[in-house]
Chains A and B, each alone.
Chain A
Amino acid sequence: MKFNDIKDLYEFIFKVEGKYIKLKNREIFTFKDELSLNFFKMSYTSLLKNFVYPIILFALLYLFCEAIKERYVSIYTSYAAKTTIRVHEGDSAVWLQENYDDTHWGLQLPKAPYFAWMRMRINLDSNQVAGRMLGLGLWAYTGSYDLYWDGVHIGSNGIPGIGSEEVPGQIDKIFSIPDSLLTVGQHLIAMRASQQFSKSLSTKPYVIIEEYEAQIKYLIIVAAFIHILTGVFLIISIYYFFIYFKSYRQIVFFIFAIICLLLFAGSFLHYFKFYYKYPYPFHLIRRISLEAIIMFLGISLSAYFLFLYKIKQSRIFLTVIAIVFAVSFLAFNPNGINQKSYLLYKEVVLISLMITIWALVKAKEYSRSSLYSLIAPFTILFFLELYFFNLMMYISFFIFIIFNLYTLSKTMGVQKKEREKYLIESNRLKLELLKKNIQPHFIMNTLASLISWVEEAPIIAVKFIEALAAEFRILVDIAEQDKIPVAKEIKLCESHLKVMSYRHEVDYQLKCIDLDPSLTIPPAIFLTLLENGITHNESEMNKIIFELQLEKSFDGMTYRFFSPSIVEYDDEPVKDGTGMKYIKARLRETFADAWSIESFKKNNGWEIKINLLR
């Protein structure tokens, strides 16, 4: 069975099953050309790549998180969730007694500064007690305290006190519980605590009872693991700073370096507390810094994507996004410990994802690999409230970075090619510029009219030759330059007009309005406009005045060139003739994407606007 074209194959497939089926017999696939086979695959693969694969990736990551979530919870149970911490302000020796009835005590910590007692009861079963050295971990409590186990003082964290009497304790502390006190049954943990610093922050401790050694080990393992990522973020950041400053001066590389630097700072600031126990007043500074880091991460990510996709008006979008982040950072003040960083993180991921999906719809380059890179950060949005969220956040951003390294290496390849093309183009333009006025037909036409002048009026002929020499002198002077002062360009235009005036016996003039002679532009841009204007001029007038005007605006400037009495064109004068091609190539070479050119009919002539963005 043979198929001569793709249509036959389609028909076959749809006849057999009414849907796509795999054809195992290889003989069936004898296509006339391979292109059509690729096309056949395309429609399916683009669907797969844009929708199915991302969803599969998301599902896998989600299931993975679900799985390790369970494991995490079993290893690291927060006792705080199971027991009730009761609080009472003040100080009394009675409150450490085991049989004191605290049921009338409140559940909330008073507003700092305070001096208060906290009491909670826990149950130990025989499994927990049997021959193990248990530790009592009190986590993320912002205060100083003496700790009592069944009324026995087993340790202190700082010295609780009123006002400046207090010596601040560490943010986390793990106490070993003496063997003699470890019995099966109910126990009372009492804390004589005070918080005199960090007045806007008051949190009850997370209470963890687990093997002492395991608790210590766990922290070191997590910190060590995270610090591998921290190191990676730092190295990538340094590497991209080098790339930006030394080879490819592309804003995306700079922003990417910033993103990695922020991730480095974030992961370090987050996890150094696992081995360095700072005094609790520093906790507030650390938390605000972390929130600020997430905020800046959001702004840089948005900037990164906006510039990567080369979205127009990216500055405006970025300003709006930055305001959104700044407002959520400054205004939103929730009660929970991590609420603000959660909110900021949600914003980071959702805004980046929105930009990327929009880019994907618009079929922007690199949007697909960016979509893949955002799936991991997106997945863990669903695990926001879990204890292991922070850890997963850095892992997911590590995955994000890996995907984007791929994207950026692709852009570097593209840029290398572009740069090579640019060099060739640049040389070609230099040649073009010289050719422009030294090309045979220009010289031949000029000589033809010169002969006439020599015969008729030798004095004018001499002036004509002088004007021609002046034009050539300037041309040779600027031929090798990429940019020349406007003043020089105007001089070139004027000498050309002089030559053309002798040739055509028309008084050509260039009227310059508000020009800034110190600005620079690529050579022969206005000259080319003038040449076009002269060539397409159909009027029989003896005097023709071209106008060149500079208008400055808040986002750049515009050169308006007015060429009178062009009647030939009905609609579009700026066809891509060699002249226009030259202008566009020069502008692209000098201003990259920050320019545009437009033209329209105006007062019995044509106006051409060259807009240069800042």
Chain B
Amino acid sequence: MKILIVEDEKRIAYQLEKLIRQILGKEISRLNVCQTLNAARNYILSNTIDVLFLDLNLKGYDGFTLLQEMVAGSFHTIIVSAYTDKAILAFEYGVLDFVAKPFNKERLEQAIARCQNIQTHTNYFTKHLAIRKHGKIEMIDIKDINYIQAAGHYSELHLTNGKKELHNKSIDKLLTLLPSNFERIHRSYAVEMNKIERIQRYPGSKYEIILKDHTVLPCSRLKFKELNEKLR
């Protein structure tokens, strides 16, 4: 696991690093600490990471500009901050977890467990997904998402207005962040339950999901049972 810690206070960064190393041990393939915003940006540009531990109030700047930028990345973001009043907002932007300062080992273990287990819907608050488009960050309201299609390491967000946007996170990671009304229907597809019109059944255990805007999506046999129950 490749980890980046962005924390301006050396002591806290040191403590954080120490605890993470204790928790993950040899699972860590790389762990770096950046003290400043610019250093973090530069690091992410040239290195891939899996988890980002981010201090929200970085050097007096509004950490949310950085946050928007970071949540658009392919990695999960865990906020480590003393600004607990900003927790809900952080979740809305689509962070995986919010660890309040001062923190202890147990709380960090919990947070790390969240990114290790491929466990869906840990965050119930996400309202936006940040995407990087022409070098700029754009926020997409999750209500506007019709369905999500996997595209290699990335995902394609198909929006209600017919447009298609690329997200840097994989469909697995996205589903961790998205609320529970987003359901996996296929290896490569996830859809919001409310957007489903009906399920079409074909001979030979072939299933298709027809959305309210008449889009037809494939549905795997395993998921069919589950969905059928939920829709009923």
Using a CB–CB cutoff of 8 Å, the interface residues on chain A facing chain B are 440-445, 447-453, 455, 502-506, 532, 535-536, 538, 540, 568, 577
Contact of A447 among B10, B83, B84, B101 (CB under 8 A): B101
Q: Are B82 and A536 neighbours in the complex by a CB distance under 8 Å?
A: no
Interface residue B11 (Cβ < 8 Å from any Cβ of A): yes
Cross-chain pairs A/B with CB under 8 angstroms, 28 sampled? A441-B81, A441-B83, A441-B101, A442-B82, A443-B82, A444-B101, A447-B102, A448-B11, A448-B101, A449-B11, A449-B15, A452-B14, A453-B11, A455-B15, A502-B11, A503-B9, A503-B11, A503-B12, A504-B10, A504-B11, A505-B10, A505-B11, A506-B10, A535-B59, A538-B36, A538-B59, A568-B59, A577-B60
Q: How far is the CB of B101 from chain A (nearest CB, A)?
A: 4
Interface residue B103 (Cβ < 8 Å from any Cβ of A): yes
* CB proximity to A under 8 Å, residues B66-119: 81-84, 100-104
Q: Are A441 and B57 neighbours in the complex by a CB distance under 8 Å?
A: yes
Q: Are B14 and A440 neighbours in the complex by a CB distance under 8 Å?
A: no
Interface residue B35 (Cβ < 8 Å from any Cβ of A): yes
Contact residues of B: prevailing secondary structure? loop
**Residues in A whose Cβ lies below 8 Å from that of B103:** 448
Interface range for B = 20 to 34
Instruction: Supply 14 further A-B pairs (C-beta < 8 A) apart from A443-B82, A535-B60.
Output: A440-B84, A441-B57, A441-B81, A441-B82, A441-B101, A445-B9, A448-B12, A448-B15, A448-B103, A449-B15, A450-B102, A532-B60, A536-B59, A577-B60
Residue of B nearest to A531 (CB): B60
A532 CA / B9 CA spacing, docked (Å): 15
Q: Are B102 and A444 neighbours in the complex by a CB distance under 8 Å?
A: yes
**Residues in A whose Cβ lies below 8 Å from that of B15:** 448-449, 451-452, 455
**Residues in A whose Cβ lies below 8 Å from that of B9:** 445, 448-449, 503-504
Q: Are B82 and A451 neighbours in the complex by a CB distance under 8 Å?
A: no
Leading 6 A-B pairs by shortest Cβ distance: A444-B82, A449-B11, A441-B82, A452-B15, A448-B102, A535-B60
Please report the number of residue pairs spanning A and B whose Cβ atoms sit closer than 8 angstroms: 64
**Residues in B whose Cβ lies below 8 Å from that of A449:** 9, 11-12, 15
**Residues in B whose Cβ lies below 8 Å from that of A568:** 59
**Residues in B whose Cβ lies below 8 Å from that of A455:** 15
Q: How far is the CB of A446 from chain B (nearest CB, A)?
A: 9
Contacts A449-B9, A504-B11 given; indicate if A440 touches B82 (C-beta within 8 A). yes
**Residues in B whose Cβ lies below 8 Å from that of A441:** 57, 81-83, 101
A502 CA / B14 CA spacing, docked (Å): 13
Q: Are B10 and A444 neighbours in the complex by a CB distance under 8 Å?
A: no
Q: Are A448 and B59 neighbours in the complex by a CB distance under 8 Å?
A: no
**Residues in A whose Cβ lies below 8 Å from that of B18:** 452
**Residues in A whose Cβ lies below 8 Å from that of B60:** 532, 535-536, 577
**Residues in B whose Cβ lies below 8 Å from that of A503:** 9, 11-12
Residue of A nearest to B14 (CB): A452
Q: How far is the CB of A232 from chain B (nearest CB, A)?
A: 60
A444 CA / B100 CA spacing, docked (Å): 9
Residue of B nearest to A442 (CB): B82
Residue of A nearest to B58 (CB): A535
